[in-house]
């Protein structure tokens, strides 16, 4: 089950994610923790493999986050995701910890490096204090397991010699509480997942300033525009003449404004939604291809104007950038496509 999208327009000052997270189902909570872990995936990041395993047969692993592709001793973190209406205490942690140590002892999986306790209401003050004193926590946990207290079922998870050996070797300082505020902050770095779950949209910011003169990165689409103007005017037109031209100067300025508007969208994609700008350009190209290729165009100016008009009317909704579109972005995408030599005004 994927994360539920909260569709209402919410006042996030009054209903912040720290409140909304309390409404998640247990499955959604595990997905939330998995999305948090995925922030640390990628080149140079901590995790190479992240997977939610929670459910029947998970052997005490809700989320498994590996430092390497292989599951190796001490080279992965175990995230325990517990979604309750109140803070979790020893009666929640101890049975889960007994299950984990049992499965390590029977070699279901190797020992993790860190064991993270994740709960929307955090832990009780008592458990919080015990986690801060790992030696005492270890003694109390072993005693509880031996005596079958705090919800531990010794018949289901017996404290065998092998389990006791693992328990004694287990570094209880690696058991950590992950506060809900830190989890939400981490989740907010997974921009798309955060927006889908909480409806918190990343702001676009201002478009890049338009340089007075075209730069080298504008070379290709500017040259295509000069060909359009030269064909339309019946004589070759240089960039300097076009910029000063009464007939074409404002048109060129408008096209450059559209190009830089799309540059602002590209920057948002780079910073927040990697890869989505490229998919956006592909969608625009698909939407204008027939109009661009039509044999009815007599001049490059005809093709340019009709294609830009067609682009301006496209409805692109299957992209996270869609809700951030400005009016100039769609025609600007056409200039971007020309700049990438995927579109021409003068054949």
Using DSSP, state whether 152 is helix, strand or coil.
Answer: coil
- Burial zone of 288 (CB within 10 Å; 0-12 exposed, 13-18 middle, 19+ buried): buried
What confidence score (pLDDT) does residue 11 get? 43
309 vs 301: CA distance, rounded Å:
12
Residue 316, pLDDT above cutoff 50: yes
pLDDT in tens, 143-153: 999 999 999 99
* 49-52, strands of its sheet edge to edge: 49-52, 63-66, 76-81, 114-118, 175-177
The mean per-residue pLDDT over the stretch 85-104 comes to 95
Q: Sign (positive/negative) of CA torsion 59, 65, 69, 72? A: negative
pLDDT over 50 at 342, yes or no: yes
User: Dmax of the chain from CA atoms?
Assistant: 96
Mean of pLDDT over the chain? 91
Judged on CB neighbours under 10 Å (0-12, 13-18, 19+), 91 is middle
Asked if 280 and 265 touch (Cβ cutoff 8 Å), the reply is yes
In three-state secondary structure terms, 98 is helix
How long, in residues, is the chain? 347
Q: Is the pLDDT of residue 209 over 90?
A: yes
Q: HSE on the CB side for 264, CA within 13 Å?
A: 21
On the 0-12 / 13-18 / 19+ scale of CB atoms within 10 A, 282 is: middle
Token pair 């939400």 is found at: 184
Give the pLDDT score at 7: 39
Residue 280's Cα: distance from chain center in Å? 17
Among the listed residues 206, 245, 248, the one whose alpha carbon sits nearest the alpha carbon of residue 228? 248
The residue with greater pLDDT, 198 or 9, is: 198
Give the pLDDT of residue 15: 65
Residue 156: which of 104, 102, 80, 93 has the closest Cα?
Answer: 102
Residue ranges per structural domain of the chain? 17-198, 216-339
């Amino acid at each position: 089950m994927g994360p539920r999208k909260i569709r209402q327009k919410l006042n996030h000052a009054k209903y912040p994610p720290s409140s909304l997270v309390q409404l998640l189902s247990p499955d959604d909570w595990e997905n939330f923790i998995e999305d948090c872990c995925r922030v640390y995936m990628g080149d140079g990041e901590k995790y190479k493999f992240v997977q939610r395993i929670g459910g029947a047969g998970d052997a005490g692993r809700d989320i498994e986050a590996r430092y390497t592709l292989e599951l190796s001793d001490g080279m992965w973190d175990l995230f325990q995701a517990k979604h309750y209406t109140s803070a979790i205490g020893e009666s929640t942690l101890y049975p889960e910890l007994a299950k984990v140590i049992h499965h390590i002892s029977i070699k279901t999986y190797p020992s993790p490096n860190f064991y993270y306790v994740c709960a929307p209401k955090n832990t009780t003050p008592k458990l919080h204090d015990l986690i801060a004193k790992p030696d005492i926590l270890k003694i109390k946990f072993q005693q509880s397991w031996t005596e079958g207290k705090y919800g531990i079922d010794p018949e289901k998870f017996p404290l065998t010699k092998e389990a006791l050996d693992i328990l004694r070797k287990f570094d209880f300082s690696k058991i950590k509480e992950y506060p809900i505020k830190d989890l939400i902050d981490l989740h907010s770095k997974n921009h798309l997942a955060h927006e889908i779950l909480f409806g918190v949209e990343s702001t676009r910011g201002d478009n890049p300033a338009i340089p007075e003169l075209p730069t080298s990165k504008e070379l290709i689409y500017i040259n295509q525009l000069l060909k359009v103007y030269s064909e339309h005017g019946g004589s070759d037109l240089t960039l300097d003449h076009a910029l000063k031209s009464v007939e074409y100067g404002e048109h060129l300025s408008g096209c450059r404004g559209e190009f830089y508007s799309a540059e602002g969208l590209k920057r948002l994609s780079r910073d927040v939604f990697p890869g989505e700008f490229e998919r956006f350009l592909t969608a625009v190209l698909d939407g204008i291809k027939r109009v661009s290729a039509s044999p009815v165009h007599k001049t490059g100016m005809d093709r340019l104007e009709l294609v830009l008009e067609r682009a301006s009317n496209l409805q692109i909704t299957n992209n996270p950038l869609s809700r951030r579109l400005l009016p100039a972005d769609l025609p600007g995408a056409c200039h971007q496509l020309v700049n990438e030599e995927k579109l021409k005004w003068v054949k």
